Every structure is written in C-alpha cells, then in structure tokens.
Structure 1
Amino acid sequence: MKTNNIFYSICIFLISITLEVNGQQVPQQASDISPLLIGESVPKEIILRDVEGNEVNLLKEIKKKPSILVFYRGGWCPYCNRQLSGLGEVSDYLVSIGYQIIAISPDAPDDLSMTYDKHMMNYQLFSDSDMLASKAFGLAYTLDDKSFNKFSNLGMDIVMTDGGTHQMLPVPAVFFIRQNGEITFEYINPNFKKRISPSLLVGAAESLSSE
C-alpha cells in the first residue's frame, strides 16, 4: 500500500474559561481544549488499565516501538466504532512498517472486551476511565448534565478505579509518537463526527517512517 506523502495536522491551542478538576484544568467545551503539541513529550506517569484491569504505564509501552495513539470516546459511540473499523483495515500495514497501535478510551476494562470482539482488533486497547491520560494530553472536557445524560442513555458507562464517576470525555485524537515520547504528528478535531481517514493515517505514517 502506497500513498503520496501526507503530513496532515490539526493543532488546537485555545484559551478559555475552565473548570478545576482534581488539580488540573479541564475546559467546559470541546472547542476549548489545549492539547499537547507536535514536538512536546508524553508525560511520564500516565497509568492505564488493560482488559483484565491490570495497570499499564503508557510511556513504557511507547518505548517499545514507534506508536500511533488513538483517543476515542467509547465503544458506545457510532463515530468511534466507524473509526476503529477503518483503523482495522489498515492496521496490518501500519504494523508492517514499524508501528504499534494503542487505542485509549474512558470505557471501563470490563467494556473493552466487547469492543475487541466487535472489531476483531489486532492492536492494544486500554482503559482511561480515570481520565488521567486524556487530561495529561489536554483532550478532556466536561459535559454538562444534559449531554452527560444523553450519552449515558446511549450506553456510556464510566466507572473510575475508586468506583466513582465523572462527567468528562476526550476529544477524539490521533498522535504519532517516537519511542523517546516525542509527538511528531497529531490530528485533533473538537467535532466528534470528523475523524482522520485511513488513507490520511497511512500517508502520515509513510511520511514519518521515511524521515
């Protein structure tokens, strides 16, 4: 599979009124996030959980191979499911040119297995139900009560490690990350209906792997 070299990046850096949550600034709207930028590094102490509930250090996983990180809203989201299906169509090729794929969502570990079964994934899927990774990457935003109830009715079921819940979601995003933790490419769009296409994803991967 070959495409022309494509380097397609949407970086959003906006300043807005924010809400303080657990000592971190979390905006009240998706359009107001301040994500990590190209050239910045992944924070060191981000702990996720795998399907069995085991803790996983994200940076240690990234050190294994160049990584494509995919943040999505959850297995209940039809736009996310469409994106994951498209990712599955090109994942073998992306792995063949040297990448590992890591998908991250707020879904609790028990819910991850259903997403695995639905998409027959050949890549890693981790739970960020505490939103530690989403906040560290600057992707988290707070849902108002109306939106939270709407998404809950669609099947969103967030249960944090301590058993509590929150009203946050990540803005869907894709990051390419070197083994040293440096971000080399990102696609971030606060409109959750807009996702990077498989062809653009492959184009970015080919462009970066040739550097």
Structure 2
Amino acid sequence: MSLNKELSTVYEQFLETAPKEVTSVINDAVDNFKSVYDPAGAIQPGSTFPQFQLTDATGNKVSLSDLLEKGAILVSFYRGEWCPFCNLELRALQAHLDEFHQRGVTLVAVSPELPDQSLSTSEKLSLKFPVLSDVGNQLAKQLGLFFAQPDSMRTVFDKFGVDWKQRYGNDDLGVPVPATILVDRTGIVRNTFVNPEYRYRLEPEIALQWIDQL
C-alpha cells in the first residue's frame, strides 16, 4: 500500500471516530490556513538552502555543512510525535533508508519538538536517521514553512493529552507545514514538496526518483 493510501485510511478512520467538535475545529483551522498560505512563498528549487545548526535527539549539534560533507540530503519537516500522519511518513522513509544510503543521500527529519521528544520519536519508530529539533520553528520560518495554529486548537490538544509546552518548550502552537526538500551536495535545493493539507505527504518512491535525477 502506498504511503498516501495509508494516510487516507487513517484520515477516514479519524473522521469516523473523533468527536465532531474536534474534527470541526481541526478542519476549520486547516481550511483557513490553506486559504491564505501560498506554497510558492516557500523555498523553491534553485535556491540555496540556509545554513543551520540544530540539536539531534541525543543532544549533538548538527549543521548543514556537516551533513553536506557526506553528499546530498533529503529533509523531511514534520509536526510532532502526536501526529499519526507524520509517524506514518517517518516509518515509510525508514523503510526506504537503505535505498537512500545506496544513492549516497542522508535522510534527515526536522520538527520543532525538543530533543528529548525527538529521542522518544526515534525510539518508538526505530528510526535510524537523524531527527533534529528546530525549536521555535526558526528554520521552518526561514523556509516559508510555518503554520501558526489558532488558539482554537488548544482544546483539541488538551483533549488528546498533548502537553504543548512540555513537548515544544513554548506555548505558541506553531508547527511546520509538512514538507520534503532535496538539497544537493553544493547546498542547492533541487526538488520540493510542500502541502498545507497535513494528510498528504511525498511518496518515498518519488523522492528516490528525484535523487536519481541529480
């Protein structure tokens, strides 16, 4: 089954089981964001990926330069461990990790969660690639990938037991727009997938096609 078919199944199950007041708040928040967000404002192919230094799940600092020394990188921005759609995407990427490595590409996941939360995600999903913490969404904002969720979403996270401040170190509800970006070894963005609708993600097979065209 393709990743997006899995995501669609999970979404349908969520709509069937979640309280209507919850789905209504989420749908309103996403629809409002989609009405004002323009993916063309996000980083585009041909642009230079900005330098960064982020902390990985074990507390080590990782820079763009460090990663590019090994070759091209594929960067996946996800919202957090509480998001089942993000977890499915991370698992799908992990399932293709050997294929990325065979092509000399380093896979990297980035979220605004604190490093200890990233470690939890890595362990729960048995991830064997770096998971970096973009606390405060600083890198996501530079890339035009920031979604300031409305205060109405607080009731949703409270209902599902998500302690935002504990996970993110702040209380602003900001998350990245789910995105996947291929950066060649010179630091130039070659391909991007950006979708403000959180339940659609790039198929790993498409990412591999991108890489084969480098």
TM-score normalized by structure 2?
Answer: 0.75
Answer yes or no: is the 8 Å Cα contact 1:67–1:99 preserved in 2.
yes
Pairing 1:2-151 to 2, within 5 Å after superposition: 29-30=33-34, 32-33=37-38, 34-44=41-51, 46-151=52-157
Is residue 197 from structure 1 mapped to residue 203 from structure 2 by the alignment?
yes
Identity %: 26
Q: CA deviation at 1:142?
A: 0.8
Matches within 5 A, 1:150-161: 150-151=156-157, 153-154=159-160, 155=162, 157-158=164-165
Q: 5+ unaligned residues in a row in structure 2: which ranges?
A: 1-31
Q: CA deviation at 1:63?
A: 3.9
CA contact (8 A) 1:129 1:159 kept: no
User: Cα gap change, 1:184/1:50 in structure 2, threshold over 3 Å: closer, same or farther?
Assistant: same
Write the deviation string for residues 136-180 of structure 1: whole angstroms up to 9, x where unpaired: 11101211101244235432635599x543221100000000122
Q: Cα–Cα, structure 1 residues 205 and 149, in superposed 2: closer, same or farther, change >3 Å?
A: farther
Stretch moving more, 117-126 or 94-103: 117-126
* Contact 2:136/2:174 (8 A) holds in 1: no
The one-letter code sitting in structure 1 at the alignment partner of 2:43 is L
Q: Secondary structure at the match of 1:145?
A: coil
Bigger proportion of residues as helix: 2
Aligned residue in 2 for 1:188? 194
Alignment check: 8 A CA contact 2:67 2:106 kept: no
**Cα gap change, 1:156/1:126 in structure 2, threshold over 3 Å: closer, same or farther?**
farther
> 1:39 is aligned with what amino acid?
G
**The residue matched to 2:96 in structure 1 has which SS?**
helix
- SS class of match (1:52): coil
User: Does the 8 A contact of 2:55 with 2:115 survive in 1?
Assistant: yes
How many corresponding residue pairs?
A: 179
User: Where does the alignment leave 5 or more consecutive residues of structure 1 unmatched?
Assistant: 1-27
TM-score by length of 1: 0.76
Could you say which structure has the higher strand fraction? 1
Q: Verify the 8 A CA contact 1:74 1:156 in the aligned structure 2.
A: no
Q: CA deviation at 1:197?
A: 1.4
- Worse-superposed segment, 195-204 or 102-111: 195-204
